[in-house]
Amino acid sequence: MREEEDQTVQAIAAARQALGLQLAALRRAAGYTQKEFAPLTGYQRGTLANVETGRQNAPRVFWERCAQALGAEALLTGYDQIQAMATAHRQETTRRVQAASDAMIRAWQDSWHHAAASNAIQFVALPAPRQADEIHVWLSTPDGNIAHHMIVRRADVTVSQLAVVLGKLLRPDGGEVDDQEKRPG
DSSP string, 51-93: HHTTSS---HHHHHHHHHHHT-THHHHHHHHHHHHHHHHHHHH
Q: What are 121's strand-pairing partners?
A: 139
pTM: 0.57
Note whether residue 83 is domain-resident: yes
pLDDT one-digit tens code per residue, 118-169: 445 545 554 545 555 677 666 666 666 666 667 766 666 666 666 676 666 6
Whether residue 44 is found in the same domain as residue 105: yes
Note whether residue 93 is domain-resident: yes
Average pLDDT, the chain: 79
Residue type (1 letter), 143 = D
CATH classification at residue 16: 1.10.260.40
- Which residues contact residue 154 at a Cβ distance below 8 angstroms, ignoring those fewer than 6 apart? 133, 134, 135
CA angle 159, 147, 157 (to 5 degrees): 15
Whether residue 100 is found in the same domain as residue 165: no
Note whether residue 114 is domain-resident: no
Q: Which domain holds residue 86?
A: 2-109
Tell me which of 77, 109, 141 is where a domain ends: 109
Structural domain count of the chain:
2
Whether residue 140 is found in the same domain as residue 100: no
Note whether residue 178 is domain-resident: yes
pLDDT one-digit tens code per residue, 59-112: 999 999 999 999 999 999 999 999 999 999 999 988 888 888 888 777 766 665
Whether residue 158 is found in the same domain as residue 93: no
